[in-house]
Amino acid sequence: MIVVPILAIASTIAVVWSAYKYQTAYVALIDALPPQFQDGLNSKFAFPEYVLRSTTPLPTQADYVESLVGFCCATLGIALLCFLYENQVVGAIVFVMFIAFSFLTIRSWKVYRANCSRQPFQDGAQ
């Protein structure tokens, strides 16, 4: 069963990497949020809404989307580990989480790609 340690290590790396990317994007955007969303609690809820706006720098958006991809990989790995350990109920719950994260990631990636393809406005040109 060499698959189990490989999945466990890969899932752990995906979680740590995703948390790092998410925190990098969060710290980069926190000062740009409106004043009512700059405190610790409200900023956590406002961050996903503001990070993919066209006014947010593209590298910050990329970090956010990359963190979502990592969380998708991590939840898939954890679901597979649960199934390998014959814990179908928990595996099914985590697999449903993977599907939900996948839809969120695809939707966010589409918004990010649309923001990448937008042409910046020239002075006086619209």
Q: Is residue 108 a part of any domain in this protein?
A: yes
What predicted TM-score, i.e. pTM, was given to this entire model?
Answer: 0.86
Q: Is residue 68 a part of any domain in this protein?
A: yes
Domain that holds residue 1: 1-10+54-118
Q: Is residue 78 a part of any domain in this protein?
A: yes
Q: Is residue 66 a part of any domain in this protein?
A: yes
Handedness of CA 63, 67, 68, 72 (dihedral sign): positive
pLDDT tens digits, 38-74: 887 788 888 888 999 988 999 999 999 999 999 999 9
- Total tally of structural domains belonging to the chain: 1
pLDDT tens digits, 89-124: 999 999 999 999 999 999 999 999 999 998 565 444
Tokens describing residue 70: 């990592």
Q: What is the DSSP letter of 56?
A: S
pLDDT score, position 121: 56
Q: Is residue 26 a part of any domain in this protein?
A: no
Q: Is residue 24 a part of any domain in this protein?
A: no
Q: How far apart are CA 102 and CA 96, in angstroms?
A: 10
